[in-house]
Amino acid sequence: MFGKKETTFDASLEQVGTIIGQGAVLDGPLTTKDSTRIDGTVKGNVTISGALIVGQEAKIVGTVSAQNVYIAGEVNGNISAPQGKIEISDTGKVYGDVTCKGIIIDENAVFAGKCDMTGLDKTSADIAKERAAADKAASAESSAADNAGADTSDKKDGDKHDKKGKNK
């Protein structure tokens, strides 16, 4: 029941066009138009038009922007995927704020920051308030129907008794 859940983002399905290999250090910004896998270190902002895969040994120090982000390594900086998903695996560490449409944080992952969910027309609080109002209205209607039935039965019993309460 509480066992390890399978990852929903399959990194192997992404067509990776750019790879920063393990041991490589990139000092400065990285911008690519295709999906990218980073296994080395990037010290600078990362802007990817496709998906970003941060390998287990990878480290990014800077702001990250991509369609979808899968993190098994470490990111020190804010992450933005406003139309996509961010997934932090059990070995992943994120120190910064994230903006995304969906987020998955595995057990044992580290996330120190705040999350801003995009693409939501209504908040869960608004939905809960609407449900509570609907339940209250339904309850009031049900209660009114029950009371109407009770009044009817009292009148029938009242017909059997005279004004002094004696049976007719």
Helix, strand, or coil (residue 145): helix
- The burial of 10, by beta-carbon neighbours within 10 Å (0-12 exposed, 13-18 middle, 19 or more buried), is given as exposed
CA pair distance 13, 123, nearest whole angstrom: 32
Q: Parse the chain into domains and list their residue ranges.
A: 11-117, 121-157
Threshold 0.85, pTM exceeds? no
Write down the pLDDT at residue 97.
97
pLDDT digits (tens, 9 = 90+) for 61-85: 999 999 999 999 999 999 999 999 9
Residue 39 DSSP one-character state: -
